[in-house]
Chain A
C-alpha cells in the first residue's frame, strides 16, 4: 500500500475516532457527573443521605463496570436502535461507548469529590449555605483538578474502547488497524495507525495534565 492509498483511509478513520470520542465524552460527562455526585451525596453522612438509593446507584455502576465493553456493546443493541434508529455506524457506537464509560467516570467523580473532605463542606454549612449551593460552589469547584484528571483517564479509555466499535461498523483507527493491518497483512498501515493512536492519547493526556496542574496550583 502506498502513502497515497493510506492517507485517505487514515484521515477518515481518525475523523471517525475523534467523532466517536468527542460525542461519547460529552454524554459520559452528562450522565456520569450527576451519577458521581449522587454517589457521594446519598452516602451515609452525605448531603442527601439515602442508604437505599446509594446502594442501588452503586449496584448500577458496578454492573456497568463489570461488563466487558464488547459484551456491553452487543447486549444493548436494542437500546441503541431505540435511541439512534440504527445499530451500526459511528453515531450508533456513541451509545455503548457512553454507557461503558459513564459508570467508570462516575466512580472517578466520586473519588475526586471525596477528596474535598468534610471540613470545607461543614464550613459552608456553618455559613448557612444550602445543599445545592454546597454541591455547586464548594464540592465541584474544589474537586476540579481531580475531575479534570478523571476526565482525562476517561477520554483515554474511550479512545481504547472505540477501537472495538469496528465490531458494529463504527469505524475508527482501531477498526482500520484490524481490517487492513491485521486481516490484510498491511504491516506499514498497522504501524502508522498505532503511532497515530499513541500520539492522540499522548496529546489528550498532556492536555489533561496541564489543565489539572494549573487548577491545582491555586
Chain B
C-alpha cells in the first residue's frame, strides 16, 4: 500500500549537510498497522513527511496506493494527498472553526457541496464518538477529544491510508489507550492501512502488526512483529524484554505464542540437566503472548537440551 525505496533526505543547515534519512526502504502492506519506532532525531518524522511529500525527498521514490508521488505536479499531488489522511502530535486543529467546521475543512478543499458536507461531517463525528461536540470549539475539548477530531478530519475523504505523526505522544496514558483502540477499530472496520511513527514501545506493542526500528536515519530492522522477535539478536526483542547483559554460558530463550507449553519442565524431565531461571519477561504483543527467559542450563546433556528447545520453535541464544 505504501512503498518507499532508497529514500534519502539531506538538509542544509548553515552550510552544513545534515542527513535526516539515509536510504530507507519501507513496504507497508494493505490493511496493516505499521509502526516506525525510534528516538527523537532518528529521522522518523522526516520519513513520514516524505511519504506525503510535505518534505521533498533528496532522492528515492514514494508510492502510495499504487501511485508514485515523487513525480507528480503540484495539482496532481494535491489530489493525491486528499487520499492520504494524516494526524498530528499537537492535533493541528483550526481554532477559528468549530469541531464540525474542522472536519468539514478537507471536504471544502475537495469541493464537496454544502449539503453533502454536512451529512458526511455528521457521519464522521459519529464514527469517532463526538457527535455531541459538533458545535464546540477545539479550545473547549480535552486532548483525547482533539485527537478524535483530528482523526475524523483525516478520514473525511475516505482515504485508504492514514499517516500518524506521534498521535498519542501529547496524551496521558489512559487517553493514549483509547485513541489506540480507536485506530485499531478503524483499521479493522474500514480496512484502513496505518503508518505511524512513535518513540513509545507501548504503541507498537498495543496495535502494530509490523515495525521498523529506526536510528540515525537508517532502518535497523523491519518486519512483522512475530518475525522480528524470533530473529536472533533482534533489537525489538531486546527492547521489549529488557534483561541484563547475559554472562558467558547463560542461555536466552524467546518464545512467540508457545507460552502454553511447559518447555522448561519438559527439558528437565527428558534430559539430564538442571535449569535455573535467572530472569524473564512476558508481553502481549500483536495479540500474541511472547516472552523471554534467561536460563542457566547445566549438566551432561546440556547441548542436547538446547537443540531440543530450538527444535520446539523457540529462539535459543547462547552467550559466549
B79 at the interface (CB under 8 A from A): yes
B23 at the interface (CB under 8 A from A): no
Interface of chain B residues 58 through 93 with chain A (CB within 8 A):
77-82, 84, 86, 88, 90, 92-93
How far, in angstroms, from A144 to B109 measured CA to CA in the complex?
Answer: 21
Query: Smallest Cβ distance from A119 to chain B, in angstroms?
Result: 4
Q: What is the predominant secondary structure among interface residues of chain A facing chain B?
A: helix
Residues in A neighbouring B109, C-beta threshold 8 A: 124, 127-130, 133
Query: Smallest Cβ distance from A215 to chain B, in angstroms?
Result: 7
Instruction: Give the number of A-B contacts (CB < 8 Å).
Output: 61
B139 at the interface (CB under 8 A from A): yes
Q: Which of A126, A137, A144, A217 contacts B54, CB < 8 Å?
A: A126
Interface of chain B residues 80 through 123 with chain A (CB within 8 A):
80-82, 84, 86, 88, 90, 92-97, 105-106, 108-110
> Are A128 and B105 interface neighbours, CB within 8 A?
no
Query: Smallest Cβ distance from B196 to chain A, in angstroms?
Result: 15
> Are A215 and B54 interface neighbours, CB within 8 A?
no
A122 at the interface (CB under 8 A from B): yes
**B107 closest partner in A (C-beta):** A127
Residues in B neighbouring A2, C-beta threshold 8 A: none
> Are B96 and A127 interface neighbours, CB within 8 A?
no
Query: Smallest Cβ distance from B175 to chain A, in angstroms?
Result: 19
A59 at the interface (CB under 8 A from B): no
> Are B105 and A137 interface neighbours, CB within 8 A?
yes
**B80 closest partner in A (C-beta):** A128
Residues in A neighbouring B54, C-beta threshold 8 A: 122, 125-126
Residues in A neighbouring B79, C-beta threshold 8 A: 128
B52 at the interface (CB under 8 A from A): yes
Residues in B neighbouring A124, C-beta threshold 8 A: 105, 109
Q: Chain A 121-145, CB within 8 Å of chain B: the 1/0 string?
A: 0111111111001000110011010
Q: What is the predominant secondary structure among interface residues of chain B facing chain A?
A: mixed
Residues in A neighbouring B96, C-beta threshold 8 A: 141-142, 144, 215, 218
**B77 closest partner in A (C-beta):** A128
Given contacts A218-B95, A218-B96, contact A125 B108 (CB under 8 A): no
Query: Smallest Cβ distance from B252 to chain A, in angstroms?
Result: 43
Residues in A neighbouring B92, C-beta threshold 8 A: 119-120, 122-123
Residues in A neighbouring B27, C-beta threshold 8 A: none
**A134 closest partner in B (C-beta):** B109
Among B82, B84, B109, B163, chain A packs the most CB atoms within 10 A around the CB of B109
Query: Smallest Cβ distance from A62 to chain B, in angstroms?
Result: 25
Among B92, B105, B110, B137, chain A packs the most CB atoms within 10 A around the CB of B92
Query: Smallest Cβ distance from B155 to chain A, in angstroms?
Result: 11
Residues in A neighbouring B106, C-beta threshold 8 A: 127-129
Residues in B neighbouring A129, C-beta threshold 8 A: 78, 106, 109
**A130 closest partner in B (C-beta):** B78
> Are A142 and B94 interface neighbours, CB within 8 A?
yes
Residues in A neighbouring B97, C-beta threshold 8 A: 141
Query: Smallest Cβ distance from A114 to chain B, in angstroms?
Result: 16
Interface of chain A residues 88 through 130 with chain B (CB within 8 A):
119-120, 122-130
Q: Chain A 141-167, CB within 8 Å of chain B: the 1/0 string?
A: 110100000000000000000000000
**A127 closest partner in B (C-beta):** B106
Given contacts A119-B88, A137-B105, contact A127 B82 (CB under 8 A): yes
**A215 closest partner in B (C-beta):** B96
**B153 closest partner in A (C-beta):** A127
Residues in B neighbouring A217, C-beta threshold 8 A: 137, 139
> Are B94 and A128 interface neighbours, CB within 8 A?
no
> Are B94 and A141 interface neighbours, CB within 8 A?
yes
Q: Chain A 31-47, CB within 8 Å of chain B: the 1/0 string?
A: 00000000000000000
> Are A120 and B86 interface neighbours, CB within 8 A?
no
Query: Smallest Cβ distance from A146 to chain B, in angstroms?
Result: 11
Residues in A neighbouring B88, C-beta threshold 8 A: 119, 122-123
Which residues on A are within 8 Å of B, measured CB to CB?
Answer: 119-120, 122-130, 133, 137-138, 141-142, 144, 215, 217-218
24 example contacts (A-B, Cβ-Cβ < 8 A) are as follows: A120-B92, A120-B93, A120-B94, A123-B88, A124-B109, A126-B54, A126-B163, A127-B105, A127-B109, A128-B82, A128-B106, A128-B110, A129-B106, A129-B109, A130-B109, A137-B108, A141-B94, A142-B94, A142-B95, A144-B96, A217-B137, A218-B95, A218-B137, A218-B139
Given contacts A127-B81, A128-B82, A142-B94, 13 further A-B contacts (CB under 8 A): A122-B54, A122-B88, A124-B109, A126-B54, A126-B84, A126-B163, A128-B81, A137-B105, A137-B108, A138-B94, A144-B96, A218-B95, A218-B137
